[in-house]
Chain A
């Protein structure tokens, strides 16, 4: 039986392949037989479409195929209900792409899909078409500015570790996690491991109605990725090859030895040293200036010695897609390589450069075993090998940014690294002579789905189950060694002897280290019902789900619950959905684990009303609203915070709080979707969320006669709201066309309730401020004279000298201290306005696509550990290097024009407090991708058995407009953010 089925399957697949090749032949002189396929925009075939010419008519079969005899050059009209009709010129082989009418686009949801007309909730989608012009190593990097409401935050550019972080509609809680739930094919999974080619659609589910099925995991919204599946009746083979280079967007620059020494002397003078006490006397300065003797007066640009301008990368991708009535398949395999930007790293038998090698594959199979039973089996995985230097990239870059140009030459003798007793980390050696490590990562994802159609008993009824098994393993093998540096004795030249520091050690192997693994198992049972009775359409879904996430020896993270949803539609005008989840998390005490999360949503398709039929500019108009409750069980604090433990010494530990519960998100959405003139779509949504029961430190709530530290209680509240809007316009003429899409998201949030310590002054309270509000001093400029310092309030952070930053004494107590920190600046993570702009133009096969992202209403603190570039903006103090950010530091002479505080070696802590002095406008506009390509004409490629072929040049992070200039506006430290340029070929057979 099994054998037989396999045979049938193979035959059918074979037939599909054969057929797709055949349809390209057979050209007649006058009357031609047009064989074609009708597809939708995402490449799915459309069955039962009607193809009409002036003389004849044919109806497509369910695989979208048609065959019609017409005169060459005749006009064919292809039409189908809920699609816009299209006219094409007859050719022997045709693929007709129909576009859905407004409201008829399929939207992938948590369970199944709906047309956008039926949709009552806030969901934004991105189709595979919009993903394809990306060259990214982590999937998330394809999403900047693409989906309203989805905020993607750039990570550093380290190949393989450049996963961005996501927020949906900003931040909502100050203790719990703000991360959205990410689902791939309906289950929680890592999504950055997917390649852009294998993803069919990306949906962002934002309101309570769209996410209610996930109950207490849903409050931060859901990002849902759906992978491609086979299409019956149409087999394609896709092949893609791409190669390119990556380059830092911006990398800080540092002064050479002469300027460094001058600044050093300047700082020493500021510190009260006399001319004779300066570290760099006139001879040395002159030596540096003339660059006369690289041994005695080294002047090394460590960055250019260690960092190359371009790092190559390449990618191959092959996929197969097709099927028939019995079986369908989508299979892909991809290979990727990306090198790091370190220089001169080849050590013969090994290389210390970062290097990422990756292979990913997917096999999504659908089999209809009987008329009623269908099975899905999906296997996907990714293998990764990462080669990298022994020290972390951030350590390497920090060392690079920190190492002065005049410490030592790179080599003091052939093969002998320069350095000194205090400066042993010669950056070139630090990168190359400490060995390397190799990390191996394996991801495996699998889905098994069985669906049984019970229509023979009850029409429209189905039952089924879904099970998934995911696995991840990572391990590092290390090979490390030590190195020596040498100093030219007494700095006397010629060299007659060297003093060595450290040892040139032998390579020692370590590992396996950093082993980590996890497993994720999910199990679902469901039953669904869908039917139309005249004007009434009804669908219902009930499901049971349980999941576990097992990592190491810890108790697994477990979730279980039942969900249900009932949808009702009347006359394709009025839609109502009611959805609810009753689910549990293992993180709460027995008896208080389950919560009910209901949501209700509705939509009114106004344009379907008779009174709208005469208003032709408005081809589609829908109003929608939703409200509901969802939860966030990822509340922060300690896991199992309900438990009450003692130490073995009999000391009671922080009291467990058995009342701990999940955060509750009460969400309301109001939206309007409009299509004007059939080709301009506008979406506007207002959203409002009230997040309750956010964890608050219990010690500030519970009377101390409780007698023990209390941990946390659910107390905090945050309100957030804003709007999203998206406009799309496209126009396609016979030989040319264009599209413009723009989206804007505006969010703000406010902590409306938070119990906090008694603050000395009202401006210090967090309540009433946005989440993560930065607190700092108000800088009022630089002190100009000692007199001014003497008369000013005392500043509490070490020495204050003329040219030091002067701060405002907010509470007028004549002391500037931690009580003078007030809210300053805007959030660096979530801007007020997140914008995306996507434009494209095509003509005669040539096309240009560009995606811009902009953040408006954002500020960064250049001196902050998390936001700033502190290695670059804080020179000398703490033995730091001097970057070109420092242009014109304060001295008595430059007082009028100074743009930087007076330099100091000894103690500049005063200047580097968090303050408005270092606050900068963080707004930026980035061209995230730009693609210029050419689609080879069908007539040409059909001879090569191709259905499509395209070549392109693509840039990523091509340029950035911002106010920061010296460093990347998003990530200022560590491995730089990269831009890339690629050329590629994309072939479809």
Chain B
């Protein structure tokens, strides 16, 4: 018996020894933070991931139709203003909620909802967290794992990654600043072990947030010279931040900070009372315009000294090819103008859905999700020797087609019709043809022309389907869209070659620096030779005449705003330009016009129309509420109860 007793005791001793291991999960085979930073290639995956959808961009990586672009399925933010319009089939798009005035903080941006608002608030913090994790951990990566072929030391490669992460934080904060005003200032990646009590950051004031961003930018500009490359021209590095971007971002931020929405002691709404400093400086300081102009000058100088230049081949001005190169080419393909941009789509397909007409068999109205109201077409100047001349679209216009000889081939006949169809669009700012597709455009080489017209018969009106194949069947009628213009800016010359081109999201290009300086100087001291020179520089490279001289400050302000609208058309600027200049209340709630195009046939029918008519028609109207000057925080976020103060009116 003693033996048994002993055995039991022994067993007890054995088991109690193994207690600690008994409950312990075996060594992780899965990736954790240590494995991410165990070698360069792993760490770079996280760096690449940091660049993945950091801020709302026109072409984002996510799938069309689900979360899609930030408008909830296809339309760019341009559709919030009169420069854009989504196709009207899809009433579920988030942008349609703006047209109804039906935007609620509860349906904007959240992890829980498939509807995104204009912004994806939570995604901002995800990117910031990634940046801080990289800053905190990149030093752990063993030096020996860094590539050595470019002769850059491992230490400098780590510093470069840190500088990028800091710039990323600055960028994301700026994107929040312009939408929300001040936001909580987070200076680290919270560890999961940080208790809830430490996560009680309040909203910082607008100035604190502005200072925080400035601090990051100055840090990068002073401490990472010669470490962060001034410009990236290597194909594989496109998308990573160059040093020039720090300068450019600073110029843009100073412009915003100087603008009336923020540079004021009278915010657009007094609803926040003593907390109004969350959404503006709470003082007006004219010197902020000077700062913006200086920052733009510094950025221009830095860029020029480092191989950047506004694309301007004198032989390519009149056909706006300079403009197209600046908007769609990679740096290593001659685009010296792009400062930072990314190519996020794996294939060009989504770009075509998002941007231009559908080229496949999707219905007669296509799936083009970004269209152009007549309002924008009307804003393109006539190309003449004098600036400020416009075409009138107000009255119905009719264009006769000369009799087409019998026996003409379908293609030739179609081209004759197209030549007439194009007539209303003749003689405009070359940037119009680079930006917008229109009736009669032969968009790529010898392909059929784009036919957006409805067939009509004299005295009988619109027939059902008799004319589907008239016009030789050559017109791509299926491309008709509701307002009858669409965007071609981002794939001009690449139309129909859907998959072979991955469109760029250009966040900033050098042309903007000139227009920032022109605006800032005009606001600081009124029109000057420098203001005109900057404007004319941008206009000249697209074949447009100089601006009128002798204008006053207000007239010049309009000219500059107009120039930004044309130059940065569909580049995600107008919605924010109108807000920062407090112009939204005048320019957003307007009538939206379309063009109605009819091809007229005689009875009895023959193969060819005899005239084409254009008629300006009211398409819809838009609304504006002053609370829209700032984005709402998602109400789910406010409801978490840690003290996030919602913006006025939401």
A residues contacting B by CB (< 8 A) are 370, 372-373, 450, 452, 463, 465, 523, 525, 544, 546, 555, 558, 560, 584-586, 590, 593, 640, 643-652, 655-658, 699-709, 757-758, 760
B317 in the interface, Cβ–Cβ < 8 Å?
Answer: no
B234 in the interface, Cβ–Cβ < 8 Å?
Answer: no
Are A558 and B642 also in contact (CB < 8 A) when A452-B1, A703-B637, A707-B128 are? no
Chain B residues with CB under 8 A of A584: 23
In whole angstroms, how far apart are the Cα atoms of A463 and B48 in the complex? Answer: 63
In whole angstroms, how far apart are the Cα atoms of A24 and B644 in the complex? Answer: 89
Chain B residues with CB under 8 A of A645: 28, 30-32
What residue of chain A has the Cβ atom nearest to residue B195's Cβ?
Answer: A659
Quick check: B111 and A465 within 8 Å, CB to CB? no
B314 in the interface, Cβ–Cβ < 8 Å?
Answer: no
Are A758 and B635 also in contact (CB < 8 A) when A657-B192, A699-B111 are? yes
Identify A758's interface contact among B8, B19, B106, B130, CB under 8 A. B106
In whole angstroms, how far apart are the Cα atoms of A656 and B639 in the complex? Answer: 23
What residue of chain B has the Cβ atom nearest to residue A711's Cβ?
Answer: B192
Are A658 and B46 also in contact (CB < 8 A) when A546-B22, A707-B129 are? no
What residue of chain A has the Cβ atom nearest to residue B112's Cβ?
Answer: A757
Quick check: B12 and A651 within 8 Å, CB to CB? no
In whole angstroms, how far apart are the Cα atoms of A723 and B28 in the complex? Answer: 48
In whole angstroms, how far apart are the Cα atoms of A647 and B127 in the complex? Answer: 16
B650 in the interface, Cβ–Cβ < 8 Å?
Answer: no
What residue of chain B has the Cβ atom nearest to residue A706's Cβ?
Answer: B190
Chain A residues with CB under 8 A of B30: 645-646
Render B604-646 as a binary contact track against A, CB cut-off 8 A, 1 for contact: 0000000000000000000000000000001111011010100
Quick check: A644 and B11 within 8 Å, CB to CB? no
Which 3 A-B pairs give the minimum distances between C-beta atoms? A707-B129, A650-B46, A650-B45
Identify B32's interface contact among A370, A465, A646, A709, CB under 8 A. A646
In whole angstroms, how far apart are the Cα atoms of A657 and B196 in the complex? Answer: 11
Q: How far is the CB of B181 from chain A (nearest CB, A)?
A: 16
Are A757 and B636 also in contact (CB < 8 A) when A465-B11, A586-B25 are? yes
What residue of chain A has the Cβ atom nearest to residue B105's Cβ?
Answer: A758
Quick check: A544 and B12 within 8 Å, CB to CB? yes
In whole angstroms, how far apart are the Cα atoms of A699 and B639 in the complex? Answer: 12
Quick check: A655 and B25 within 8 Å, CB to CB? no
In whole angstroms, how far apart are the Cα atoms of A544 and B8 in the complex? Answer: 13
Identify A644's interface contact among B33, B132, B644, CB under 8 A. B33
Render B13-43 as a binary contact track against A, CB cut-off 8 A, 1 for contact: 0011001001111101011110110000011
In whole angstroms, how far apart are the Cα atoms of A176 and B42 in the complex? Answer: 37
Chain A residues with CB under 8 A of B8: 450, 452, 463, 465, 525
Identify B637's interface contact among A555, A640, A658, A704, CB under 8 A. A704
Q: How far is the CB of B155 from chain A (nearest CB, A)?
A: 21
Chain B residues with CB under 8 A of A452: 1, 4-5, 8
Quick check: A758 and B636 within 8 Å, CB to CB? yes
In whole angstroms, how far apart are the Cα atoms of A707 and B192 in the complex? Answer: 11
A-B contact pairs, 7 of them (CB 8 A): A452-B8, A584-B23, A644-B33, A651-B49, A701-B640, A703-B199, A704-B121
Chain B residues with CB under 8 A of A650: 31, 36, 42-49
Identify B122's interface contact among A649, A700, A704, CB under 8 A. A704
Chain B residues with CB under 8 A of A450: 4, 8
Quick check: B125 and A705 within 8 Å, CB to CB? yes
Q: How far is the CB of A813 from chain B (nearest CB, A)?
A: 11
Quick check: A703 and B201 within 8 Å, CB to CB? yes
Q: How far is the CB of A564 from chain B (nearest CB, A)?
A: 16
Interface size class of chain B, counting residues whose CB lies under 8 Å from the partner chain: 35 or more
Q: How far is the CB of B96 from chain A (nearest CB, A)?
A: 16
Identify B15's interface contact among A523, A657, A700, A703, CB under 8 A. A523
Interface centre among A372, A544, A560, A650 (most CB of B within 10 A): A650
In whole angstroms, how far apart are the Cα atoms of A708 and B640 in the complex? Answer: 15
Quick check: B22 and A560 within 8 Å, CB to CB? yes
B184 in the interface, Cβ–Cβ < 8 Å?
Answer: yes
Quick check: A760 and B112 within 8 Å, CB to CB? no
Quick check: B642 and A703 within 8 Å, CB to CB? yes
Chain B residues with CB under 8 A of A709: 111
Q: How far is the CB of A202 from chain B (nearest CB, A)?
A: 31
B446 in the interface, Cβ–Cβ < 8 Å?
Answer: no
In whole angstroms, how far apart are the Cα atoms of A463 and B4 in the complex? Answer: 11
Quick check: A758 and B192 within 8 Å, CB to CB? no
Q: How far is the CB of A365 from chain B (nearest CB, A)?
A: 18
Count of chain A to chain B residue pairs whose CB atoms are closer than 8 Å in the complex: 133
Quick check: B19 and A560 within 8 Å, CB to CB? yes
Quick check: A708 and B129 within 8 Å, CB to CB? yes
In whole angstroms, how far apart are the Cα atoms of A647 and B637 in the complex? Answer: 27
Identify A702's interface contact among B24, B112, B130, B196, CB under 8 A. B196
In whole angstroms, how far apart are the Cα atoms of A590 and B1 in the complex? Answer: 39
In whole angstroms, how far apart are the Cα atoms of A913 and B368 in the complex? Answer: 35
What residue of chain B has the Cβ atom nearest to residue A371's Cβ?
Answer: B1
In whole angstroms, how far apart are the Cα atoms of A463 and B45 in the complex? Answer: 59
What residue of chain A has the Cβ atom nearest to residue B190's Cβ?
Answer: A706
Are A707 and B640 also in contact (CB < 8 A) when A452-B4, A647-B31, A650-B45 are? no
Quick check: A560 and B189 within 8 Å, CB to CB? no
Quick check: A373 and B196 within 8 Å, CB to CB? no
What residue of chain B has the Cβ atom nearest to residue A645's Cβ?
Answer: B30
Chain B residues with CB under 8 A of A707: 125-130, 132, 186, 189-190
Quick check: A658 and B45 within 8 Å, CB to CB? no
B133 in the interface, Cβ–Cβ < 8 Å?
Answer: yes
Chain B residues with CB under 8 A of A546: 15, 22
B406 in the interface, Cβ–Cβ < 8 Å?
Answer: no
Quick check: A648 and B4 within 8 Å, CB to CB? no
In whole angstroms, how far apart are the Cα atoms of A834 and B542 in the complex? Answer: 83
In whole angstroms, how far apart are the Cα atoms of A730 and B599 in the complex? Answer: 99
B193 in the interface, Cβ–Cβ < 8 Å?
Answer: yes
What residue of chain B has the Cβ atom nearest to residue A701's Cβ?
Answer: B640
Q: How far is the CB of B128 from chain A (nearest CB, A)?
A: 6
Quick check: A702 and B199 within 8 Å, CB to CB? yes
Q: How far is the CB of B168 from chain A (nearest CB, A)?
A: 13
Identify A555's interface contact among B26, B31, B122, CB under 8 A. B26
Interface centre among A645, A651, A655, A760 (most CB of B within 10 A): A651
6 new A-B contacts at CB < 8 Å, known A647-B31, A705-B190: A372-B1, A555-B25, A643-B28, A656-B192, A699-B111, A703-B637
Quick check: B23 and A586 within 8 Å, CB to CB? yes
Q: How far is the CB of B518 from chain A (nearest CB, A)?
A: 37
Are A644 and B133 also in contact (CB < 8 A) when A544-B12, A560-B23, A706-B199 are? no
In whole angstroms, how far apart are the Cα atoms of A525 and B12 in the complex? Answer: 7
Q: How far is the CB of A741 from chain B (nearest CB, A)?
A: 44
Q: How far is the CB of A584 from chain B (nearest CB, A)?
A: 6
What residue of chain B has the Cβ atom nearest to residue A708's Cβ?
Answer: B129
In whole angstroms, how far apart are the Cα atoms of A655 and B130 in the complex? Answer: 13
Quick check: A758 and B639 within 8 Å, CB to CB? yes
* B147-200 interface with A by 8 A CB criterion: 184, 186, 189-190, 192-193, 196, 199
Q: How far is the CB of A839 from chain B (nearest CB, A)?
A: 50
In whole angstroms, how far apart are the Cα atoms of A452 and B19 in the complex? Answer: 25
In whole angstroms, how far apart are the Cα atoms of A726 and B7 in the complex? Answer: 48
Chain A residues with CB under 8 A of B192: 644, 655-658
In whole angstroms, how far apart are the Cα atoms of A708 and B36 in the complex? Answer: 17
